Amino acid sequence: PFIKLNVEGQSVKFLCDSGACRSVISSGVKLPRSQNSILVKTADGATTRTSLSKLVLVDDPVTGLEKRISLVIAPDCPLNLLGRDLMSVLKISIVPIKDGMRAVRVTGDCCYLHDPIILCKSPLKQI
């Protein structure tokens, strides 16, 4: 499932990828590169050295949660990937639904679905 977050104030669409340790930016925003790099093993098994960005602010416009983090810069990756590093800090989970999977935002005892319905212990509310 996809979710939109802000990276340095710009709206960026990410694929939620619970198999990715680190979040990856492939397109949509130009980030300053740091002098650091990491070895990345891709889904096809290839390992390559890849640049990291300098610390950038990533925030969730729905919950207000934010984190300064270095993102993996991978222009060859077909999608921006939201990895477990940011999913855990921004409290974003992937849950099964009738026809696939959905990204949900979890705060306190509430789940904010991708659409504007909030699921809580209390009755459903529109936001």
Assess if residue 61 is contained within a domain. Answer: yes
Which pLDDT band, with edges at 50, 70 and 90, does 116 fall under?
very low
Count of residues in the chain: 127
At 10 the pLDDT is: 95
Give pLDDT tens digits for 14-43: 999 999 999 999 977 889 999 999 999 888
Assess if residue 29 is contained within a domain. Answer: yes
Assess if residue 15 is contained within a domain. Answer: yes
Give pLDDT tens digits for 62-98: 999 999 999 999 998 899 999 999 999 999 999 888 8
Any idea what the CATH number is for the domain that residue 81 is in?
2.40.70.10
Provide the residue range defining the domain that includes 30. 2-90
Assess if residue 31 is contained within a domain. Answer: yes
Parallel, antiparallel, or unpaired: how do β-strands 72-73 and 24-25 relate?
parallel
pTM: 0.83
Q: Which residue has the tokens 């499932």?
A: 1
Identify each DSSP E strand in the chain by its residue range.
2-7, 10-16, 24-25, 33-41, 47-53, 56-59, 66-69, 72-73, 81-82, 92-97, 100-107, 110-113, 117-119, 125-126
